[in-house]
Amino acid sequence: MVKKPHKGDQRYLKHSSELHNFLSKRLGNPATVDELIQDVFLKIFKNTKRHSVEKPRAYLFAVARNLLVDHFRHNIARQHNNMLEFDETIHTDTSFSEEKRLETREDLRSLAVAIRTLPPRTRKAFTLSRLYKYSYAEVGEMMGISPRTVEGHVAKGLATCTTYMLQVDTREKSHMTDNIVQFSKTVATK
């Protein structure tokens, strides 16, 4: 038996299509959008039992933004872990020497450490822009800041990571970059 929504629930439910559009623009995957919408309403209905809300639409989108940030944070952490995991049986290429493979692995680990040293907002802007390929405008909207501020965070992230990488390893920057690019090409062609 389907339970009829409580009268107060309608204050939130009437914004569900707008919420769906908001999340779809940022996520793309319909299944993930549906999951997040369910999580948003679940959280709202749990919290509104304890507290009254004066502006339901604003509260709905604040909860959605927070859950969206949590979703991206989880994906970034998972991507960092995946970047560090290296399966020789999948990523082995005989044309890529063992020495270069080890150097590249070290470079990737150093880069992951460098990214983790960034301040939280800079790290978030940097990873959303550079790893997930979101535009500065999209990142700004997700983080509630201007695209110009996102650009500043990304520039700071690039500078910090570059400096860190150069300090960690005395090899020339071009040698390190060439290893990563060459290795990426060999993995991409498999």
Q: How far apart are CA 29 and CA 26, in angstroms?
A: 9
Sequence ranges of the domains in the chain: 12-82, 95-190
Cβ contacts of 110 within 8 Å, gap of 6 or more: 164, 165, 168, 169
Q: Which fold has domain 95-190?
A: Arc Repressor Mutant, subunit A (1.10.10)
Q: How far apart are CA 42 and CA 32, in angstroms?
A: 15
Q: CB under 8 Å to 171, separation ≥6 — which residues?
A: 103
Nearest to 72, CA basis, from 24, 26, 113: 26
The per-residue DSSP string of the chain comes to: -PPPPPGGGHHHHTTHHHHHHHHHHHH--HHHHHHHHHHHHHHHHHHHTTS--S-HHHHHHHHHHHHHHHHHHHHHHHHHHHHH---HHHH--TTS-HHHHHHHHHHHHHHHHHHHTS-HHHHHHHIIIIIS---HHHHHHHHTS-HHHHHHHHHHHHHHHHHHHHHH--S-HHHHHHHHHHHHHHHHT-
Interval 5-46: pLDDT, tens? 455 567 778 888 888 888 888 877 788 888 888 988 888 888
How many other C-beta atoms can be found within 10 angstroms of the C-beta atom of residue 73? 14
> Sorting pLDDT into bands at 50, 70 and 90, what band is 172?
very low
User: What mean pLDDT do residues 71-92 have?
Assistant: 62
Provide the pLDDT confidence category of residue 79 given band limits of 50, 70 and 90: low
Is 60:10 a contact under the CB 8 Å cutoff? no
The pLDDT-based confidence of 186 (bands split at 50, 70, 90) is low
CATH topology of domain 12-82: Rna Polymerase Sigma Factor; Chain: A (1.10.1740)
Supply the pLDDT for residue 118. Answer: 92
Mean pLDDT for 125-149 is 89
Is the CB of residue 84 less than 8 Å from the CB of residue 106? no
Segment 87-123, tens digit of pLDDT: 554 555 555 677 777 777 887 888 888 899 999 999 9
